[in-house]
Amino acid sequence: MSLVIVLLFDFQQRKFVKRQRRSSEESLQDVITVEASLFRFRITLAASLARLRIKFNLVNIDRVLPEIVKERQRMARGLPLHGWVNTQKASLGDVRDALTNEGFSDVDSVQRLRGHAFCVDRHCGDLLVFSPDLRAELSKTELVKDCKLVIQDKSCSLPPNAMRSVLTQEQCVLMTGSFSALTVAHVAAIAASCSGTVLVCESKEAKRKELEDVLSKMECTNVDVIPRNFVDLDPMGAELENAAVVLMMPQCSLSAISNPVEFIVRENRDVDLLQDLSRGSVSQGRLSNLVACQKQELAHAIKIPKSSAIVYSTCSSFSEENEEVVRRVVRSKLHIYRLSDTGLPSDSTDKAGDKDLFWLEASTESNGVFVAVMTRLGTFQQGAPVVEQPAERSKSKPKPTAVKSPTAGPSSGKALSKKQQGKRKREKLRKASQASRSEPPPNRARKTREPPLP
């Protein structure tokens, strides 16, 4: 059903004219079948649309959309273009110089983006921002063709950049969730800057092939693919034994995305969400299913024994998918993880007032995204976790004062065992008994017998 909706929308945008397929385009039988069916009923569909427009006095089809969807469309039209620098092939300075040589001007803020201007993003040091009108022109530059500059939504670049705050030399990054091959390449470039490697879980063969092609084109040689779902892996098994940092970008409601159709297609997200998003809200049932999967993945991730940090990110505006999922782990009785600074500059704290949670709201400058970084305090072992209490807990909660057992001796600093207490008690009773026998008996009044009367 979701495929039909996408193709019908595309068909309507083209005024019901048949789409010309490119010679290099991959043939997908489902797409071909749906396109053929829609084209066969094009006259009926166009007539039905015309009747609806007359009935509801609509200038265009957008008028039937909910107000929240129309607001998102308005924001999406003005979204700047973002591109991250592939440091596997070029440095940030090299890319900026190349753009300047091609006639672009380097400015200091998004507010000054006019014409061919660009600037460095305020949150991500490897991300450049352009006017949305430059997409076609940028795609023709050698920088983009050679994959030195990669055009991608900003919300996809924030989680990898938050990972920098916890990544150290020669560590392995495990990626789980739903993301495009471009995001994997971005993480690989960041990991390579500190001689690190990347592990990706992908069970579908077609997506593994696409991933291999993109990584080869971008010269990413530090990525290994595990052909299984993350939750099916043994967290203490050999496949995950080197995972030090876990980057989680699970399927979410995408409720903070202004251009969901484009985002879903480009970023390998769930097309079934389109029905909900077209109505302006996600059903409670679908939201509950998403949250359950997010909790399952996060619960699985904390069991990886050598992981020192987890970076969790969604493109959702719902607290159920964001801070509530994270705090469930942080406030767990296991005390394995705590919230840490994301390393991303923020203008304000999150809705609940926690400074360690990063929340960028959807606006005319970017889509919305939530990021949390959790660092390990203890270790998880099968059976029972070994808990290391964080330093700040001892400050806020004083240690209980040790109380000596009443049966302990004056110099004893430890409580006696039950056997020792019983022995000590019997000894005290024996001494008390001996003392009572050595003392003279107390004086007792003797009764005198009176003589009989004469």
Q: Give the pLDDT confidence of 328-339 residue by residue, as tens digits.
A: 988 887 778 999
Question: For 181-199, what is the mean pLDDT?
Answer: 97
The more confidently predicted of residues 234 and 13 is: 234
In a domain, 213, yes or no: yes
In a domain, 74, yes or no: no
User: Which CATH number goes with the domain that contains 145?
Assistant: 3.30.70.1170
pLDDT tens, residue by residue, 74-128: 888 889 999 999 999 999 999 999 999 999 999 999 999 999 999 999 999 999 9
Share in percent of the chain as helix, strand, coil (round to 5): 40, 15, 45
- For residue 417, the model assigns a pLDDT of 60
Residue ranges making up the domain that contains 110? 80-151
In a domain, 53, yes or no: yes
Q: Which of 99, 116, 151 is the last residue of a domain?
A: 151
The residue assigned the tokens 């900003």 is: 154
- For residue 443, the model assigns a pLDDT of 47
pLDDT tens, residue by residue, 140-169: 999 999 999 999 999 999 999 999 999 999
- If asked whether residues 168 and 192 sit together in one domain, one would say yes
Catalytic positions, written as ranges: 315
Would you say 202 is a known binding-site residue?
A: yes
- For residue 128, the model assigns a pLDDT of 98
Residues 336, 309 contacting (CB under 8 angstroms): no
The residue assigned the tokens 């496949």 is: 239
Question: Of 305, 327, 295, whose CA–CA distance to 380 is shortest?
Answer: 305
Question: CB neighbours (10 Å) of residue 259?
Answer: 17
- If asked whether residues 238 and 206 sit together in one domain, one would say yes
- If asked whether residues 105 and 185 sit together in one domain, one would say no
Q: Which of 393, 417, 434 is the last residue of a domain?
A: 393
The residue assigned the tokens 């998403």 is: 290
In a domain, 288, yes or no: yes
Question: For 229-234, what is the mean pLDDT?
Answer: 96
**Which amino acid, 354?**
D
- If asked whether residues 171 and 264 sit together in one domain, one would say yes
Residue 130 — φ and ψ, nearest 5°?
Answer: -130, 165
Residues 249, 159 contacting (CB under 8 angstroms): yes
- If asked whether residues 247 and 130 sit together in one domain, one would say no
Confidence of residue 395 (pLDDT cuts 50, 70, 90): very low
In a domain, 452, yes or no: no
- If asked whether residues 136 and 168 sit together in one domain, one would say no
- If asked whether residues 30 and 110 sit together in one domain, one would say no
Measured between alpha carbons, how far is 235 from 304 in angstroms, rounded to an integer? Answer: 5
Measured between alpha carbons, how far is 343 from 291 in angstroms, rounded to an integer? Answer: 26
Measured between alpha carbons, how far is 143 from 173 in angstroms, rounded to an integer? Answer: 27
Is the pLDDT confidence value at 291 over 90?
A: yes
In a domain, 332, yes or no: yes
The DSSP string of 212-238 is HHHHHHTT--SEEEESS-GGGS-TTSG
**Which amino acid, 428?**
K
Is the pLDDT confidence value at 181 over 90?
A: yes
Is the pLDDT confidence value at 184 over 90?
A: yes
- If asked whether residues 173 and 111 sit together in one domain, one would say no
Question: Of 127, 126, 105, 102, whose CA–CA distance to 114 is shortest?
Answer: 105
- If asked whether residues 232 and 322 sit together in one domain, one would say yes
The two tokens of residue 60 are 């265009």
Percent of the chain past pLDDT 70, that is, above it, reads 78
Q: Which of 351, 366, 393 is the last residue of a domain?
A: 393
pLDDT tens, residue by residue, 17-73: 888 776 656 677 888 888 889 888 888 888 888 887 787 777 666 665 667 777 777
- If asked whether residues 375 and 241 sit together in one domain, one would say yes
In a domain, 413, yes or no: no
Go through 173-209 and write b for each residue having 16 or more CB atoms within 10 A of its CB, e for each that does not: bbbbbebbbbbbbbbbbbbbeeebbbbbbbeeeeebe
What are the residues whose beta carbons fall under 8 Å from the beta carbon of 65, sequence distance 6 or more? Answer: 73, 278, 280
- If asked whether residues 85 and 147 sit together in one domain, one would say yes
In a domain, 399, yes or no: no
Question: Of 256, 220, 372, 361, whose CA–CA distance to 310 is shortest?
Answer: 372
CA distances from 58 to 15, 53, 74, 77 (A): 16, 5, 18, 21
**Total domain count, the chain:** 3
User: Which CATH number goes with the domain that contains 288?
Assistant: 3.40.50.150
Residues 269, 178 contacting (CB under 8 angstroms): yes
Percent of the chain past pLDDT 90, that is, above it, reads 54
- If asked whether residues 314 and 242 sit together in one domain, one would say yes
